Structure 1
Amino acid sequence: MRLWRLRRAGGETAAATPAGLQRGQPHKQVLRPVSPVFIWVTLAAGLALDLLPWGRTPLVPDFLALALVFWNIHQPRRVGMAAAFLFGLLTDVHDGALFGEHALAYTLLSYGAISLHRRILWFPVLSQSLYVLPLLLVAQLASAAVRLWVGGASANWWVGLTESAVGALMWPLVNWILFAPQRRPISRDETRPI
């Protein structure tokens, strides 16, 4: 177990356990390392959920965007903007949208999540959804701006707004599901340090 050293006023050092080892705080748990296979399977599952024939139902969020935001926040070195761009191109091919529309939106989403990931991780899961909402809105606005710029018909703006709002409301559930394989079981062994 790694201990941190704190300097007191008299110059002596005292060992302190990190705040992440306290029980009862689900957003501050010691987690197992994430498998790269699990990361890519969840991104593929998000893409597969987006490929289902939902239509433009306003209460269905962009599952791939949620998975991208989650992994960009929690594993920014493993899932970057290149992955977001490639998944955006796959989404464009499936939707028959302007080639690069979703790629640009997902790349901007990924950039925002990576640049804010340290700040977002300071907050509990419910507060994190307040940061996720603007990220999802920016992705929706980028997609709508590309459609308007090329002269295409604009989709209803409220559909993108409700997709983003539902995605932000689903953020705690997404966190719980994607962290499930990493959580350590509650152990009754009191002699184990972690």
Structure 2
Amino acid sequence: MPPSNTTPRSLSSLQPLDTRSFGGPASLWLVWGSILLVWVVSLLSWRLWLPAPDLLLLVIAFWCLNEPRRVGLFTAFVFGLLLDVHDAGPLGGQALVYGLVAYGTVVLSRRLARFNVVVQALHLLPVFVVSKAVYALISAWLLGQWVGWTWLWSALFTVALWPIAYILLHYLPNRLHDEVESGAA
């Protein structure tokens, strides 16, 4: 097929060759379904082990970065309060941690959008460490004794899971959507 010699009448009529690469907003069902699923998983007792990664914090940080209009500080604070009530811990402790991570993610969002997944994880490492350190200091103050350094492993494990969360929440839904559109699924 010979190329068309039609020229656009204005620059505003030009369209990119592949608009799927820019990606649209994620499905509302995917965003809230993933948050609610991970929240239910977070209610299990394994999360109380101090070095365990905080999966809910990871998913909320991911959506704060990729869907800031749907998930933000309020969502993080509410789910932090829900975990505080579930754990019967100091009310507002987890809410503060979740709020700090959501704020840090939103503040770094423009910078994080320019980098690949590994560099994003390295940029988020201080955000997760500082938020967990604040919670450890509050717990030490309220309990009257230092809780140790095992909380640091939680932040490191959470950051290590960032690429996996990115693949599961970003690439996998887009790939499934493309397969459905092409009729391969």
The alignment's TM-score, normalised by the length of structure 1, stands at: 0.76
Counterpart-to-counterpart distance in 1, 2:119 and 2:125: 10
State how 1:116-127 maps to structure 2 within 5 Å. Answer: 116-127=108-119
Aligned position for 1:161: 152
Counterpart-to-counterpart distance in 1, 2:73 and 2:115: 24
Offset of residue 153 of structure 1: 4.0
Aligned length: 168
Aligned position for 2:164: 173
Runs of 4+ residues over 2 Å off in structure 1: 15-18, 28-33, 148-156, 182-187
Rate the CA distance shift 1:48–1:154 in 2: closer, same or farther, 3 A: farther
Rate the CA distance shift 1:153–1:41 in 2: closer, same or farther, 3 A: farther
Offset of residue 156 of structure 1: 2.4
Say whether 1:71 aligns with 2:63.
yes
User: Could you report, residue by residue, the CA deviation over 1:136-184 in whole angstroms, capped at 9, with x for unpaired residues?
Assistant: 1122112112212334444222x22111111111111000001121345
The alignment's TM-score, normalised by the length of structure 2, stands at: 0.79
- % identical aligned pairs: 33
Say whether 1:87 aligns with 2:79.
yes
Say whether 1:141 aligns with 2:133.
yes
State how 1:1-194 maps to structure 2 within 5 Å. Answer: 17=16, 29-54=21-46, 55-56=48-49, 58=51, 60-157=52-149, 159-179=150-170, 180-183=172-175, 184-185=177-178
Most deviating of 88-97 and 42-51: 42-51
Rate the CA distance shift 1:16–1:36 in 2: closer, same or farther, 3 A: closer
**8 Å Cα contact 2:43/2:86 also seen in 1:** yes
Q: Which runs of 5+ in 1 are unaligned?
A: 1-14, 23-27, 190-194
Paired amino acid for 1:185: D
Most deviating of 171-180 and 140-149: 140-149
Higher strand share: 1
Cα root mean square deviation, aligned: 2.7
Q: Which runs of 5+ in 2 are unaligned?
A: 1-13
Higher helix share: 2
Offset of residue 82 of structure 1: 0.7
3-state DSSP class of the match of 1:102?
A: helix
